[in-house]
Chain A
Amino acid sequence: MTSLVTARNVSKHFGDVRAVDNVSFEIEKGKITGLIGPNGAGKTTLLKAVLGLTDCDGELSVLGLDPFKQRKQLMQNICFIADVAVLPRWMRVSQLLDFVETIHPNFDRRRAEELLGRTKIRKKSKVRELSKGMVTQLHLSIITAIDAKLLVLDEPTLGLDIIFRKEFYGNLLNDYFDGERTILITTHQVEEIENLLTDIMFINDGRILLDQPMESLANTYVELLTSGENSATAKGFGPIFEREVFGKSVFLFEGVSRDKLEGIGELHTPSVADVFVAKVKGAEA
């Protein structure tokens, strides 16, 4: 496996605030990694560092390049969609295609036109005449037609309705992802993307709380629903988080085998959102 992004002890300060605090991780080729964290957790700062939009301390290598110093070369192989619709509003769709075609060495215009042909977006339209959903569709079509090694998505579906959101992730998997490409995505709507992720990272207060493949999540984390005396037994196994639901206790365990917990109560595989809340709250406690 080749590693596309390697971060070692990466930090970024804003005055006294440590937005990213001594973070280390790797992202391998062909993975779809979700970076999940509450607002202000350092997600965007970390993405900015990966995209070369901000400098940082520590070692950060993206596609073997220093993202801040070699941004131009990096952008030949990286695409990103930010959380705001950032396509220039005055531009016509045709002008956008002309521009990207001249500037981007890895852009396949015919592919972009083919993808746009499936939408209601007309080439004569200006970006400002399109709905927010259509702007995102347009951006994704252009990016899909760029043969990039890494795609970075920062809250790409923020403010879109459910139809566009479903379609966006559908297109992302069907048209963009081919097993060769790599995606790094942040969102706070974890439920929507947990099915397409191969790997997941949690970040809070600038630190990485969790970083592992999705498939191992079910082995590592288990949720136990119980009540009464069994609760005390459950606590003995050291749950990382505990909450009350309809008078029953829900415990979340990390690295405790299911065999040990069977018989105490109902066992479930927790959702990513539950694990996330447990890790964030657990870290605060």
Chain B
Amino acid sequence: MIGHQLALLQRELWEHRSIYVTPAAIASVVLVLTLAGQVTVSAFGEGVDMAIVGASNVDDVHRRMALGGFLGLVTSIFALGALIVTIFYCLDTLYAERKDKSILFWRSMPITDAETVISKLITAILVIPLVALIAAAATQLLVLILSSIWVIIQGGNAGHLIWASAPLADMWISSLIVALAMPLWLSPFIGWFLFVSAYTKRSPLLLAFLPIFIVPMLEAMLPGRSHLLFNAIFVRTVKAPLFNVDEFSWFSDDKSFSMAEETISMIGSLDLTRFLGSPSLWAGLIVCGLFTTAAIYVRRYRDESY
């Protein structure tokens, strides 16, 4: 069974190359920009000294925050990339195989429709985020190595300025938690997209997004003016119980500068207990399960494809 599932996941990576091409492209851009930045700054002889002196004069907490902020920015670019890849992947994966009729080949193999659709769900929920996470971590390491080389060439102390100040462990552990948790939080959308992909005869993108906007609008027009679906759809996309929003205020609030070093951590801003205890999370997972089941059902029972 596990052998089958691995073969199916391998197949998704063969077919949907955007899963690793997109992070690779983002990594290249980030690295090129890093190098370009270093070359540009190096052109101003005095500026370089100022930058290094400046970095050396800042206290550890602020240097840590600055580097952490930069690394966090890199992670979020990869996260955004993964989000876009996931949307297009989910909408394409069960649609394309019907469009080119290769579904007949896949269904001639001794695999159930459930195994196949679940491999696609695992790809969306686990594989895409993890590939993006690994690419993000590798990019961060490379950026730091490139920066160290540059600092050393400029006569600075890379060990102190960069490696002692880069909150790598904090960054990576928190990113891993976010990469594992956020797809679960957004899983009702993933399930919905997979279902649309299995169901629609044309334009899956349109069919997937129209109801997301129209249904809450209709809901608001109905007597009672309920906002249940509006909350379920839109609030979910912007507000996850994983993030401890109060702790985030150090980002903008001046008072935070007086915070002790140990509180400035990404992990500290995550609240796993609240996340796992949130009824919204489990309700979302059930919705995802229902849509996935519907996608399996459609793939199995509809035979117009042949």
Are A73 and B303 interface neighbours, CB within 8 A? no
Assuming the contacts A82-B306, A86-B102, A89-B100, asked whether A103 and B7 have C-beta atoms less than 8 A apart, the reply is yes
> Which of chain B's residues have a CB closer than 8 A to the CB of A105?
110
Are A48 and B303 interface neighbours, CB within 8 A? yes
> Which of chain B's residues have a CB closer than 8 A to the CB of A72?
110-112
Is A100 on the interface with B (CB-CB < 8 A)? yes
Assuming the contacts A75-B110, A95-B14, A100-B109, asked whether A88 and B102 have C-beta atoms less than 8 A apart, the reply is yes
Is B215 on the interface with A (CB-CB < 8 A)? no
- Mostly, the B contact residues are helix
Is A111 on the interface with B (CB-CB < 8 A)? no
Shortest distance between the CB of B10 and any CB in chain A (Å): 8
Assuming the contacts A48-B306, A72-B112, asked whether A102 and B101 have C-beta atoms less than 8 A apart, the reply is no
**What is the number of residues of chain A that contact chain B, defined by CB distance less than 8 Å?**
32
Q: Which residue of A lies closest to B103 (CB)?
A: A86
Is A84 on the interface with B (CB-CB < 8 A)? yes
> Which of chain A's residues have a CB closer than 8 A to the CB of B254?
none
Name the contact of B14 in the complex, choosing from A71, A90, A103 (C-beta under 8 A).
A90
Are A53 and B110 interface neighbours, CB within 8 A? no
B110-133 vs A: 1/0 string, CB under 8 Å? 111000000000000000000000
Are A86 and B105 interface neighbours, CB within 8 A? yes
A97-113 vs B: 1/0 string, CB under 8 Å? 01110111100000000
- The complex places the Cα of A91 from the Cα of B16 at a distance, in Å, of 11
Is B11 on the interface with A (CB-CB < 8 A)? yes
Name the contact of B3 in the complex, choosing from A86, A98, A102 (C-beta under 8 A).
A102
Is A227 on the interface with B (CB-CB < 8 A)? no
Is B108 on the interface with A (CB-CB < 8 A)? yes
* Chain B stretch 81-117: residues in CB contact (< 8 A) with chain A: 97, 100-112
Are B105 and A87 interface neighbours, CB within 8 A? yes
Is B4 on the interface with A (CB-CB < 8 A)? yes
> Which of chain B's residues have a CB closer than 8 A to the CB of A136?
none
Is A80 on the interface with B (CB-CB < 8 A)? yes
Q: Which residue of B lies closest to A103 (CB)?
A: B109
Chain B contact residues (Cβ within 8 angstroms of A): what range?
Answer: 20 to 34
- The complex places the Cα of A37 from the Cα of B117 at a distance, in Å, of 35
Q: Which residue of B lies closest to A12 (CB)?
A: B303
Are A80 and B100 interface neighbours, CB within 8 A? no
Is B15 on the interface with A (CB-CB < 8 A)? yes
Shortest distance between the CB of A196 and any CB in chain B (Å): 22
- The complex places the Cα of A265 from the Cα of B203 at a distance, in Å, of 64
* Chain B stretch 269-306: residues in CB contact (< 8 A) with chain A: 301, 303, 306
Are B3 and A88 interface neighbours, CB within 8 A? no
Shortest distance between the CB of B257 and any CB in chain A (Å): 53
Q: Which residue of A lies closest to B113 (CB)?
A: A71
> Which of chain B's residues have a CB closer than 8 A to the CB of A99?
7, 10-11
- The complex places the Cα of A72 from the Cα of B101 at a distance, in Å, of 19
Shortest distance between the CB of B18 and any CB in chain A (Å): 12
Interface centre among B15, B106, B109 (most CB of A within 10 A): B109
Q: Which residue of B lies closest to A92 (CB)?
A: B14
> Which of chain B's residues have a CB closer than 8 A to the CB of A80?
104, 108
> Which of chain B's residues have a CB closer than 8 A to the CB of A82?
101, 104, 306
- The complex places the Cα of A100 from the Cα of B14 at a distance, in Å, of 14
Q: List 25 A-B contacts (CB under 8 A).
A: A51-B108, A72-B110, A72-B112, A75-B109, A75-B110, A76-B110, A80-B104, A80-B108, A82-B104, A82-B306, A84-B101, A86-B103, A86-B105, A89-B100, A91-B15, A99-B7, A99-B11, A102-B3, A102-B4, A102-B6, A103-B4, A103-B110, A103-B111, A104-B109, A105-B110
Extra contacts, 19 of them, besides A88-B97, A89-B102, A99-B7 (Cβ < 8 A), are: A44-B306, A51-B108, A71-B107, A75-B110, A75-B111, A80-B108, A86-B102, A86-B104, A88-B15, A88-B106, A89-B100, A90-B14, A90-B15, A98-B7, A99-B10, A100-B109, A102-B3, A104-B110, A105-B110
Closest 3 CB pairs of A and B: A102-B7, A75-B110, A88-B102
